[in-house]
Amino acid sequence: MKDTSHLVQSPKNQTIAYAVIALMIAMLMIDQYRHGQYSIVLANALLLPTLIFGAAYVYINRDRYSSSKVPYVLLLIIAMVSLSCLHEHSTSVDYFFYAIPFFSYLMLPMRHATWFNIGLMLAMIVTFSLPLTAWDVFNLQAHHNAITREEDASEAIRVVMAQFMFFMSALVYGYLAELRGAALQRLALTDQVSGASNHKHFYQLLERELARGQLTRQRVSLMGLYLNDYQQLIDLHGQGAMRRFLPDFVKSMRGLIRGEDDIFRVDEDLLVLVLPNCGEEGAMVLSERFKRRITEQNWSPFVELAVSVVVVTDQANDDAEGLEKRLIKRLQKQRRTSLQLAAFTQ
């Protein structure tokens, strides 16, 4: 199955994150106003409509959100406003900085969030060192602040180190969340016995490939692998033997296909391969390779393994259900022919 562990964070989580950030900022503004920090209140007031707009935009465009750049823009604005208030040495601003890494992993893919937080830490270090630049020589108030900052260097180190600890905690959270999401997706899309993709995912992928084939004028083929005497094999060797056989069989068949192809278990005894950009001739050549592999390989504990292999290629205006029905009909026809030949031989 294709690797899909790089999924973008869900719009629902991001909308909730925007609302939580807006609530935090509103609470901070009340505290900052009470302490007379009016410049910080004004800066934070600029963030509230931005966050509200972002939440509304993400929710309205949730169905086509994969291409949206809104989370990047909003996080950048939040970081810039917070950095502009950092020189005030407000404890509430410091605490708000600590929450940004966690919000970034809710809004952005893990790799992008990690680089964002690294950039934020570097920007914090630069911001703390800004009062010591040549410009401060001509600015008495800034020069006074620079002297104060030199005397309070330990406070700057504390803030940066605390930010680093929160960043590492958020990184671990993002990594574990990504692993959990990938595991849940594998459970949802994978047949737990064979390791092949399941029937539900089969229709989704086939419809997508058929639509893409119509746009690019490429053919899509299906190959069916029907395990003859499936129930008899279970009766003779047991359910455990079949459970050990199916993953090995699927793994061996995957070794014969391209990276864009996929294999599905659509029934207990039926595996179907989706072959994008593959016409009937190419599918027939591949089916012969499958037949040779099945015949030559030892499938212990089964002494003999009989597999019916058929191929169908899409026609004009074919949908997933229609193409699957044609595959099933061809399988049934081949099975009837095989039974008639076996009876005639006996």
Q: Domain segments of the chain: what residues?
A: 11-188, 199-345
How much is the average pLDDT of 209-234?
Answer: 87
3 state SS of 327: helix
Residue-wise pLDDT tens digits, 164-179: 887 888 788 777 777 7
d(C-alpha 277, C-alpha 212), whole Å: 10
Provide the pLDDT for residue 296. 87
Distance CA 301, CA 314 (A): 37
Give the C-alpha distances (Å, rounded to integers) separating 289 from 91, 223, 252, 255, 324: 69, 12, 12, 11, 22
Instruction: Encode pLDDT of 48-58 as tens digits.
Output: 776 777 677 66
Q: What confidence score (pLDDT) does residue 135 get?
A: 39
Contact residues for 337 (Cβ-Cβ < 8 A; gap 6+): none
Smallest Cα–Cα separation from 13: which of 182, 236, 177, 229? 177
**CA neighbor of 47 nearest in space, from 113, 11, 7, 96:** 96
Predicted confidence (pLDDT) at residue 188 exceeds the cutoff of 80: no
Torsion of CA 275, 279, 282, 288, to 10 degrees: 70
Higher pLDDT, 64 or 250: 250
Is the pLDDT reported for residue 185 higher than 70? Answer: no
pTM above 0.75, yes or no: no
pLDDT band at 88 (very low <50, low <70, confident <90, very high): low
Q: What percent of the chain has pLDDT over 90?
A: 3
Strand (E) or helix (H) holding 267 = strand 262-267
| Amino acid at residue number 210 | L
CATH superfamily of 199-345: Reverse transcriptase/Diguanylate cyclase domain (3.30.70.270)
